[in-house]
Amino acid sequence: MIRLRTLRGRLVAAMLLILVVAVCVSSLLDRLQQGHAVPASEEPYQDALVLAGFCLPSLILIWAVSSWSLRPLARISDEARGVGPMNPGARLSTARLPNEIVPLVEAVNGALDRMAAAFEAERRFTENAAHELRTPLAVLSLRLQRSRQSGAGNATPDWPAIEGDLAQINRLVSQMLDLARKENDGRARQTRPRPIVNLSRIAREACAAILPIVEAQGRSLSVTIPDTMNLRGEADDLRDALRNLLDNAIIHGSGCICLQASVNGPQKRIEMRVTDQGAGFDAEKMAGLFQRFSKGHASPGMGLGLAIVREVARNHGGDVVAFPGPPGRIELHVTAAD
């Protein structure tokens, strides 16, 4: 019985149908040419014999050709079974595949590459997060143990230090969750339109939020941006990115902090520049500057701020660029709305 859900079955059924139609049409035309309006064949089984003579070799040929054509598909099916967490680098071979199947296999390999890259990024993220959390948790545990041991002497626990440890852990966890949310939102929002937001207003709101911190350090903040810079994006994410850039200038820089913006080129590229009068970025550490948990030895931060900035920039079709200092300079590039 022919199974029409298989490629081989469909080929056989199609060829049989073509043969039947061809033999019937040929027989009808032959009889019409002989002047017989209604065929009353002297040899009633002649057409059946002709059909059988054609069908048997055709079936054998179809079966042989389909088996030869489908053999590479069975091979890549076996290769696909070997792809998994224990062998993430395995890919499907395109050797001897039909040309019609090669684009599908290449698309599958591309999807496997993206999944492997995401798997590796999440593995590094988990390892780095565990490493970063280990130290503050160990310090907090030590403080609590000391408080318990000195409890008999009515010694007062070092509550400010304990609260500082908890605040550090809370800040780290919050930034990790924020980065994970932005990565997931970036992938989800690729399929739906974004609202138009005014980046100028968002930048002024971010500057107003950090102004008390700047003034408390005896420093100044200069803002030079156009009144309107519209783009399609998420206002909260853009505000977080600008806030992280300004926080970076507050923590690592010195002197006046300047925020400047301009719209350049025919593609209406928006460039947001944050500069300060500090030493700036070390040229030797530029390669890993935007990696998760990348920070200087004396940095009080978690090393996630610039990683969040890069994720937001890429989610908005742009990127972030840092320049070796001095002075400190970093730029956020996005594309304005039409």
CB atoms within 10 A of CB 67: 11
Asked whether residue 38 carries a pLDDT value surpassing 50, the answer given is no
Give 54's contacts (C-beta < 8 A, 6+ positions apart).
19, 23
The CA-atom distances, in angstroms, between 102 and each of 177, 268, 330 are 40, 39, 44
Euclidean distance between CA atoms 249 and 331, whole angstroms: 12
What integer pLDDT is reported at residue 153 of this predicted model?
A: 53
Query: Residue 262 has which token pair?
Result: 């301009």
What integer pLDDT is reported at residue 233 of this predicted model?
A: 85
What integer pLDDT is reported at residue 201 of this predicted model?
A: 93
The lowest-confidence range among 70-74, 142-146, 163-167, 292-296 is 292-296
Q: How confident is the model at residue 49 (pLDDT cuts 50, 70, 90)?
A: low
Fold of the 194-335 domain: Heat Shock Protein 90 (3.30.565)
Asked whether residue 109 carries a pLDDT value surpassing 70, the answer given is yes
Asked whether residue 41 carries a pLDDT value surpassing 60, the answer given is no
Residue-wise pLDDT tens digits, 183-230: 666 555 555 677 889 999 999 999 998 888 888 889 999 999 988 888
Q: What is the mean pLDDT of residues 43-57?
A: 62
Euclidean distance between CA atoms 310 and 331, whole angstroms: 11
Euclidean distance between CA atoms 106 and 112, whole angstroms: 10
For the sheet containing 328-335, what is the strand order? 221-224, 257-264, 269-276, 328-335, 319-323
Tell me the sheet residues that pair with 258: 222, 275
Euclidean distance between CA atoms 62 and 129, whole angstroms: 59
More confident residue, 104 or 63: 104
What integer pLDDT is reported at residue 45 of this predicted model?
A: 56
Q: How confident is the model at residue 253 (pLDDT cuts 50, 70, 90)?
A: confident
Euclidean distance between CA atoms 42 and 27, whole angstroms: 13
What integer pLDDT is reported at residue 204 of this predicted model?
A: 92
The lowest-confidence range among 31-35, 81-85, 207-211, 304-308 is 31-35
Give 285's contacts (C-beta < 8 A, 6+ positions apart).
294, 296
Residue ranges of the domains in the chain?
7-81, 106-190, 194-335
Asked whether residue 177 carries a pLDDT value surpassing 50, the answer given is yes
Top-level class of domain 106-190: mainly alpha
| 91, 109 Cβ separation under 8 angstroms | yes
Q: How confident is the model at residue 260 (pLDDT cuts 50, 70, 90)?
A: very high
